[in-house]
Structure 1
C-alpha cells in the first residue's frame, strides 16, 4: 500500500460455472479482531445479506470473533462457518511431522461418506492415536465434508483467493486512492465480461453452465458400467451394481434415491448434481437428469451473479464538503525507502517447494540451468552468452 504498511482483506466467491470472483476488498491496518469485525460486518450488510451462506476460512482468532459476534449476522441459521483443510493440515504438520500423516488427514477430510471417513481415520489412528485426538478437538462439521450438511459444494480450501492476484497485479504499490480506483475499474470490467459470456450462452438455448455439462458428460461415460438391479419406481429408490468394464465381476452396490437426491457414494448430495449411479438410474427409468441439478448451476443463476450495477464514482471535484476528523499518517508505519522490504509473512509447510520438482529457467522454462546462464539469453552484441 504505497509507502505505508497495511493489510488487504478479500472475500472471494465462485459461481455455478466455476468462475472465481472477488466480492469485497478492505484496506486495514492489520489482521486483527477489530479489522475483521469491520470487514465482515460491512460485507454482511452491503454485499451478502442472503441467508444460508457458508464462510470458509482459516482458524484466525479475529475471524472467529467476528463471525461469532451476536450482532454480526453470521450465526446459524443465517450463515455457517467451515475451515480450510489446507490450513488445518498446516497446523497439524506443526505437531506431527511427515507428509504421509498429513495426507491421511486430508483424505479423511475429503471423504464424502462416513464409511470412507472411518477408513482413513482408522489408518491415521494406527499410525499414532495422538493424531486422531488432535483432530477430534475440532468439530467435524467444520473440517470434514461428510458432516458439513452438504453446504460446501465440494470446496474444501481457500486456494481460490490466490487467483485474484492477477486483478491486483501492477497496482499494489500505488497510493491508496489510485489503488482503489484501479481495482474498482478492473472489477467492473470483469463483471461486465462474465455477464456477457453467460448471456451469450443463454442465447444459444443452453440451460446449464459449461462446467456442469462437462461433469455430466464425464459421469455419463462412467455410468455405462453400472447396472440397476432393484428399484422402486413409486418412491424413486434404486440399487445400482458397479461392474468392471468387461462385466466379469461386481465392484459393489450403491443405493440411490432420486427423490431425496442422495447416493451411497456421497457425490450426489455433496456436489448437488447427479453422480454416475444416479445417471444410470435416470437412464434405466427413462427420466431426464436436469430436474436433479441444483439451481446454482443454471445459466440464469450464473447470469444473475453479474447483474450487480457498478455506479461510476463521483469525480473528486464534485465531492461534498468534508467536516470530519483529519487523518495524519503515522510516521512509524512508513516503510524504509532503501533496500528490499522485509517480509512479514508467516511461512508454513504450504510455502515449501516440492523437493522432487526440478528447477526451471525463468526465461526458457527448461530444467538444468538458471536465467543467468540461459543459452537463449541475448548479450549486448545480440549473440548468445556463455557459449
Structure 2
C-alpha cells in the first residue's frame, strides 16, 4: 500500500491490518511500520541525508544553472566541533526550466509551507506560479526545520535572487508572522515598489472564524474580499456590519490592499488564495512522506512529467491555429453570451470611451450602466482590470465599434506565452553509480 501511495494515512493502514490479519495494532506501531516500509522502498532515512549532496551535485553537473543552497550545522562532541561531520539544516533548490518558465507566467507567486510527515519531520516551503491557462507550477523549494523568520528569510532571499527578480512582483501569502518579518526586511528586496504583498483570503477567513463563529459571517467577509468594485465591497461589508459592527472593526485592522480584490489594481489576476494544497495534491502528492533525498529527487521527476504533459497540450493547441489559452477562450465565450442586452453609447472619435446600459432580455428593466475605457482597459464592473481580459461590457463596445477584442487581452493568456512556459525541457540525469563504475574501469 505504501509503494502505491506514500501518502496513505495511518488510519487506512490500521484498518487494512485489522481486515487482513484480524487484530488491531496501536497507532504508533503502524506509524513505525510505515516508516520502515518507506525506508525499504525509498532508502534509509539516515543515509538519505548523506546521499542528498551527491545527488544535488549530479543534477548540477547534468543541468547547469540548477541552484542548490545547502546549509549544515556543526556536530559537537564533548564541547568540541567534529570537523568530519555535520547535521543537515536547510536546503533551497530550483531547476533552470522553472526559472525560464516564470518569465512567461503571471507576475505573481504564491508562497506557503507544508509539514513533512516522515521520520524526522521538518517543513517544505514552496513557491508556486501560474500560467495563462490556469496551470499551477512549483518554481522553487526549500527544506527547513520549521516556519520561523530565519527559515523564511533563507527561502525568500534565494527565491528573489535566483527565480523572481522581476520588479513589481506580487507575492500572495498567509498571515504568518515569520513570513511578514522576512518580507519586511529592508534588504530583502520584497518591499514596494520592487514587490508587493497580498494575503490569502482563505487564511484571513480562518483567522476571522477563530473570533467570530458561524459560516454566514465568514461567507460575507469572503464575498467582500472577492468584490471587484468598491460599491460591491461595501454592499457585503454593510451586511457584515449589520450582523455585528465588531466584525468590520476586526477586518478594518488589515489594510484593504492586502485582502480585498478591488483595492489590488489587478495585480492578483483574480487569485485570492495560495495554491499550496492544490499543488501538493496534484503535483507533489506523497513527497511529504519520503526521506529527504527521495523527496528532492521526486520534485525533479514530477516536474519532468508536468513540463512534458503541459508542453504537449499547448503545442497541440497551437497546431490548431488557436491564439489564446483554453481558460481564456471559455471565459470570453461566457462573456459573449452575456453581452447581448446592452445599449452602447460612444463618447469619442478614437473608439475608446463608452457607456453601457444593461437591461433584461426583454428590455423592460434596467440593470445599471457602466463606463468602459478601452484605452485604459477598465470598466466600472471591475472585471476588466481585475482579470486582464475584456468583460461583457468591453466586448459589447468592441462589437459596436467593429473592433477586435484580442488586443485588450494580457499577453500571459496567449498560447505562445503558455507554450513558452514549458519550452525549456529537463535533461535525463546520469544514472546513479554510472560515474563510479566508469572510474573503476
Task: Provide TM-score, normalisation by structure 1.
Answer: 0.78
Match of 2:144 in 1: 28
Greater mean deviation of Cα atoms: 250-259 or 97-106? 97-106
- For 1:307 and 1:45, how far apart are their aligned partners in 2? 22
Q: Following TM superposition, by how much is the alpha carbon of 1:233 offset from its aligned partner in structure 2, in angstroms?
A: 3.2
Contact in 2 for aligned 1:12/1:161 (Cα 8 Å): no
Q: Following TM superposition, by how much is the alpha carbon of 1:140 offset from its aligned partner in structure 2, in angstroms?
A: 0.6
Q: Following TM superposition, by how much is the alpha carbon of 1:238 offset from its aligned partner in structure 2, in angstroms?
A: 0.6
Q: Following TM superposition, by how much is the alpha carbon of 1:18 offset from its aligned partner in structure 2, in angstroms?
A: 0.8
- For 1:191 and 1:222, how far apart are their aligned partners in 2? 35
Q: 1:235 to 1:224 in 2, by over 3 A?
A: closer
Q: Determine which structure has the larger helix proportion and give its number.
A: 2
Match of 2:230 in 1: 114
- For 1:43 and 1:313, how far apart are their aligned partners in 2? 24
Q: Following TM superposition, by how much is the alpha carbon of 1:277 offset from its aligned partner in structure 2, in angstroms?
A: 0.4
Match of 1:339 in 2: none
Greater mean deviation of Cα atoms: 204-213 or 275-284? 204-213
Q: 1:206 to 1:100 in 2, by over 3 A?
A: same
Contact in 1 for aligned 2:126/2:276 (Cα 8 Å): no
Q: Following TM superposition, by how much is the alpha carbon of 1:24 offset from its aligned partner in structure 2, in angstroms?
A: 1.5
Matched residue SS, 1:72: coil
- Partner residue of 2:402 out of 275, 286, 310: 286
- Partner residue of 1:181 out of 297, 322, 330: 297
Match of 1:198 in 2: 314
Q: Deviations over 1:332-355 (max 9, x none)?
A: xxxxxxxxxxxxxxxxxxxxxxxx
1:1-387 equivalence runs, <5 A: 2-159=118-275, 161-234=277-350, 236-313=352-429
- For 1:15 and 1:287, how far apart are their aligned partners in 2? 27
Q: 1:44 to 1:311 in 2, by over 3 A?
A: farther
Instruction: Report runs of 4+ in structure 1 exceeding 4 Å deviation.
Output: 311-320
Matched residue SS, 1:133: helix
Q: Following TM superposition, by how much is the alpha carbon of 1:252 offset from its aligned partner in structure 2, in angstroms?
A: 1.0
Q: Following TM superposition, by how much is the alpha carbon of 1:159 offset from its aligned partner in structure 2, in angstroms?
A: 4.1
Matched residue SS, 2:370: strand
- For 2:225 and 2:124, how far apart are their aligned partners in 1? 29
Q: Deviations over 1:85-105 (max 9, x none)?
A: 111111111111222221111
Contact in 1 for aligned 2:136/2:275 (Cα 8 Å): no
Q: 1:263 to 1:49 in 2, by over 3 A?
A: same
Contact in 2 for aligned 1:262/1:269 (Cα 8 Å): yes
Greater mean deviation of Cα atoms: 304-313 or 207-216? 304-313
- For 1:306 and 1:51, how far apart are their aligned partners in 2? 22
Q: 1:171 to 1:116 in 2, by over 3 A?
A: closer
Q: Deviations over 1:213-261 (max 9, x none)?
A: 1100110010011121343232511111111112222111111111111
- For 1:240 and 1:160, how far apart are their aligned partners in 2? 40
- For 2:134 and 2:286, how far apart are their aligned partners in 1? 25
Q: Quick one: higher RCO (CA 8 Å, sep 6+), 1 or 2?
A: 2
Contact in 2 for aligned 1:22/1:164 (Cα 8 Å): no
Q: Deviations over 1:68-111 (max 9, x none)?
A: 12222211222111001111111111111222221111111111
Q: Which runs of 5+ in 1 are unaligned?
A: 321-387
- For 2:291 and 2:390, how far apart are their aligned partners in 1? 49
Tell me how many residue pairs correspond in the alignment. Answer: 320
Q: Determine which structure has the larger strand proportion and give its number.
A: 2
Cα RMSD (Å): 1.9
Q: Deviations over 1:255-301 (max 9, x none)?
A: 11111111010001110100000000110000000000011101121
- For 1:101 and 1:233, how far apart are their aligned partners in 2? 48
Q: 1:29 to 1:214 in 2, by over 3 A?
A: same
Matched residue SS, 2:302: helix
